[in-house]
Amino acid sequence: MSDKARLFWFRVFLSFSAIWIIHCLYAYQSSINQTVLGRYSLRYFVLITAASLALIGGVVFACGKRAAGFVAGDNQKTKAILIASWLPAGIIVYVVIFMLGQSSIRQMWNQLYGTAFAAATLAAIFATLDALRVIVKKPEFWMVVVSVIVSLLLVELGLRYMIHNFSREYDRLTLYDPTPIDRFTLRYEPHNYEGYIPARGWTSNEFDDMNNSLGFRGPEVKIPKPDGVYRIVAVGGSTTYGTEVNNWYESYPAQLEEVLREDYGYTNVEVINGGAAGYNSWETLINLAFRAMDVEPDLVIFYQNTNDVHSRIVPPDLYRGDNSARRTVWDQEMVDQMFNAWYIRIPSALWRFLGVNFEWFESPRGFGLGKVTSLPCSGNSADESCLGMTPEAALAANPPIYYERNIRSIVGISENNGADILLLTWASNPDKPGYSEREEYRVAYAEHNEIVERVARELDTHFYDFASAMSMDPVLWADGRHLTAEGNRVKAELIAAYIDEAGIIPAP
């Protein structure tokens, strides 16, 4: 290829890379934050304007005489250094910014960097094509190969260190960790009525987290209930199960038992964690009727909200009382394919990291519960293109009538089986990443909380406005809806104080 042709393609791919970056900065809207720095904010426009000018200036420079001199010039040593360092440097830049950046910008970073780096790589290849031809025929070629391999090994080791020391367990097990994924995927199993339940007898890789033989998070439960024991069952979704804490004893039900025993003297109390990640009020209703009642609860605590918002973001003509627009049966074939996938078994954190983030292959995160139990065009995966309307419009068209009906059924099942029930309003933190940052979700949360309070008043059940009492201290929140271990402790203390003040538990 002639110098003129190489220079032409070098400029084409470099220009495309710059154009793509500008496009991403202007057009990107995340499903959570709308834009990187706030939709239509002044600082957002300042950023993209400055970045655009810098990129345009870079392209103009690349099309100038100096760039032409570099591409066509006989500077083999400089081009060899560029060849040897390009891929490792590009990967290091990507990994470091991804790992250190806030979760709210990671989606944009993937979109921006993937295509831009690919185009820039092609530009670099055309710029150094003459040097490549020379190096391949010389011993220096192996020096380039060794330098790339060593650099990638260093990135691999550094990435493993960052993942294992600074990442959440969920990210380690589902995204990057080169160890087998079986423990995570086996945390849940299909169920003939509920769709899925926490897997019975599951333990974590470190053996400090568990589900008991009944499928409840925590230690074994005696059935029939021993004499003198006052048993509480907490039901709900991931905010009850405690998705963001690594151990069962850091979830709020376990900490509630500890607080009631140690701070209030209710030594006969047992609190069972009957929650499961992803559950909405439909699954909670079935869970309570067919499983939780087996442990003979004296009190049921209901805490549920955001997953029922997902169930309302569906095409209005499909919105029904059986939640069939949102839920599907457990897809065991997909699970089996995930276990047998060769690309998941490659023992490289870097391979998993890049493959998952750039969506080269299905991943354990892609496998997640929503993948095998939720239908497309529903909940957080739905948008205007498939709904035929905005999520806000879908929520308006699908009022929370089934959420209310399910709560009333939950109250009825509890009371008809001799258990008191405590309804809690649901807390969220709009200053943390998550659905609570979105206006339509906040409006729906408020609607659902109003229903909880009204149902409690009409049916004369125990009621605690937890949403108003919970602190917004960021230390207590893992994201906009899940609590840290410290947050779960505060939650347990607030609920325990209400239970004691209301005199729900008989004196031991």
**Helices (H), strands (E): how many in the chain?**
24, 7
Nearby residues of 197 by Cβ (< 8 Å), 6 or more positions away: 188, 189, 191, 215, 276, 287, 291
* Residue 421 DSSP SS3: strand
**d(Cα 502, Cα 202) in Å, to the nearest integer?**
36
Pairwise CA distance, residues 370 & 379, whole Å = 10
Q: Which of 438, 428, 444, 442 is nearest to 482 (CA)?
A: 428
Residue 189's SS3 state is strand
Topology at the third CATH level for domain 212-312+399-502: Rossmann fold (3.40.50)
- Give the span between the Cα atoms of 109 and 121, in whole angstroms: 17
Percent helix / strand / coil, the chain, rounded to 5: 60, 10, 30
Give the angle 48-51-53 at the CA atoms, nearest 5°. Answer: 110
- For the chain, what are the domain ranges? 3-166, 212-312+399-502
What is residue 228's predicted lDDT score, i.e. its pLDDT? 95
CA distances from 54 to 57, 69, 165, 185 (A): 5, 22, 36, 45
What residues does 190 pair with on adjacent strands?
196
Q: What is the DSSP string of 451-501?
A: HHHHHHHHHT-EEE-HHHHS---GGGBSSSS-B-HHHHHHHHHHHHHHHHH
> pTM score, two decimals?
0.71
Element (H, E) at 233: strand 230-236
Contact in structure between 379 and 280 (CB atoms under 8 Å)? no
Question: Per residue of the chain (508 residues), what is the pLDDT tens digit?
Answer: 566 676 666 667 777 777 777 666 666 544 334 444 444 556 556 666 676 666 666 666 666 655 666 666 666 667 777 777 777 777 777 777 776 666 556 666 676 676 777 777 777 777 777 666 666 666 666 766 777 788 788 888 887 777 777 665 545 545 555 444 444 456 888 899 999 999 999 887 666 889 999 999 999 999 999 999 999 999 999 999 998 898 999 999 999 999 999 999 999 999 999 999 999 999 999 999 999 999 999 999 999 999 999 999 999 999 999 999 999 988 777 777 766 777 777 778 788 777 777 767 766 555 567 777 889 899 988 888 899 999 999 999 999 999 999 999 999 999 999 999 999 999 999 998 888 888 999 999 999 999 999 999 999 999 999 999 999 999 999 999 999 999 999 999 999 999 999 999 998 7
- Of 253, 243, 185, nearest to 219 by C-alpha is 253
State the pLDDT at residue 352.
77
